[in-house]
Structures are given as C-alpha cells and as structure tokens.
Structure 1
Amino acid sequence: MLTRKTRLRSKAQLKARSPMKRASSGRSTLKSKAPKQSKIRLSAKDEQCLVRVLGVCNGNSATVVLAHLNGAGVGMKSPDWQAAYACSACHEFLDGGYADSGIWREQRDLLHLQGIIRTQERLLYKISR
C-alpha cells in the first residue's frame, strides 16, 4: 500500500456563488439542436405528398414533412428550397429505404427532384394568391 510522506495541505474553501446568469438578451448562450422552423418547413403541414413514389406513398397528409435533397455533406442539410413535401413513407424511401426495393439511387434522385419541382410550383401558387 502506498503511504504519503507529507501531509495534504488544505485548500481555501470554495465560496458559495449565485447561479449562472443568462445572457443579456434573455436567451441561453447554448445553441439549440432543434432545426429552425422556417416558413417553408411550416408550410408542409397538412399538404399532400408531392413525391408520390408508386407502391410506397401512403397519401396521409398528416405525416407530410419537408424532405431535403441528399448530398449537402455530413451533418448538413440542403436549403429548404431544395426539398419536397413528402409523406412519412416516401420520406423514409428517400432516406435509404429504396435500397431494398430494387430501385437505383439515380432513379430515387429523379423521383425526389420531380417532387421538388412540384413543391416549388405549389409554393409559388401559395404566395401568388
């Protein structure tokens, strides 16, 4: 067993401090992990699926979200204007579910791009009325 030859010195006691204060703006200084809800993302609520993968689409407008184009880089997303309104089933298909379906990646990308064009047309219609 190891023994100490010199006695441990006692350190000054820690003073009690008040809790940490928030930044002057009232916001926490830590960044939020949740994505910012842009107007385009919010506009997907209750929309119809515009990707429409045959044999996959569930047509449930309650599950429609904005499905971003792949390829922006690790841990990054494409901008919101490069996304399509997709139901939960089509979104899962676009995010890798196509691998077991016999569809090539290029075909998946084409389906997604067609959905993006339909979504952009829908967004233009919404702002023009």
Structure 2
Amino acid sequence: MTARISGLGIPKALTYRNKRIRESARDEECLVRLPGICMHGTAATIWSHYRGSAGGKGGALKSDDLCGAYACTACDAAYDGQQPPPAGMTYADVVAAWHEGHIRSIVRLHAKGVI
C-alpha cells in the first residue's frame, strides 16, 4: 500500500499495523531462543520487529507488524544491538536466530488464528 507525500507526489509506503499480532505476544514463549541470554519464560515476551528496510523500517519507523517474532526482552535487546551477542556468537548468528524465531512465530500466529 502506498500514499503520496503531501504536495510532492512522491510515493511513501504505509506501514502495516495489526494490534492483534502485537498483543498476541502476551503469554507466549520466546521463539528466538538465544543461548545464554534467553529468559525462556512467558512474562517478558514481546513482538520484536524486524530491523531491515525490506520490512518497511525506515528512520524512526518500525517494520510492518507481519515482520516480527516472539522474543523475550533479552533476546530482543541482543537483536537490536542494545547488548552484545551471547558468548560464542556473532551478530550475524543473532540475526539468523531471530529469523528462525520469525518463522516459528508466523507458524504460531497462524495456529492461533491471528493470521
């Protein structure tokens, strides 16, 4: 979906938002599962948004809600770069784990009837 930037005629992508997806993280387990830092519970799970532009991220704008994963706040902080990767992992390993968690999350969203 696109919109036009006022007066300029420049197409600007609209970000897809779905409150049901974001709220579905409540009481879910972390599906990113970074070894050594994952909290492995349901109390601190959030909907972690993808950090790349392919998902609609730009500037201060988060990616589309479809582009996310169930992640505990510790795994999300490592993915966002707010804390270093777990011992023995590179940031590329963290990104790969996040993508695996994204696929698990999409499957879970479908099983729950959210998408």
TM-score by length of 2: 0.72
The alignment-based identity, stated in percent, is: 37
Separation of aligned partners in 1, 2:41 and 2:80 = 18
Give unpaired runs (5+ residues) of structure 2. Answer: 1-16
Which portions of structure 1, spanning 4 or more consecutive aligned residues, are displaced by more than 4 angstroms?
99-102
CA deviation string 1:82-117 (max 9, x = no partner): 100011111111111235745333222111110000
Corresponding residue number in structure 2 for 1:121: 107
When residues 44 and 100 of structure 1 are mapped into structure 2, their CA distance, relative to the original with a 3 A threshold, is closer
1:40-119 alignment, distance < 5 Å: 40-71=21-52, 72-96=57-81, 97-98=83-84, 101=87, 103-119=89-105
Quote the RMSD (CA, aligned, Å): 2.0
Higher relative contact order (CA 8 A, sep 6+): 2
Separation of aligned partners in 2, 1:100 and 1:74 = 27
When residues 127 and 37 of structure 1 are mapped into structure 2, their CA distance, relative to the original with a 3 A threshold, is closer
- The structure with the largest alpha-carbon Rg is 1
Asked if 1 retains the 8 angstrom alpha-carbon contact of 2:31 and 2:69, the reply is yes
TM-score by length of 1: 0.65
Letter in 2 for 1:109: V
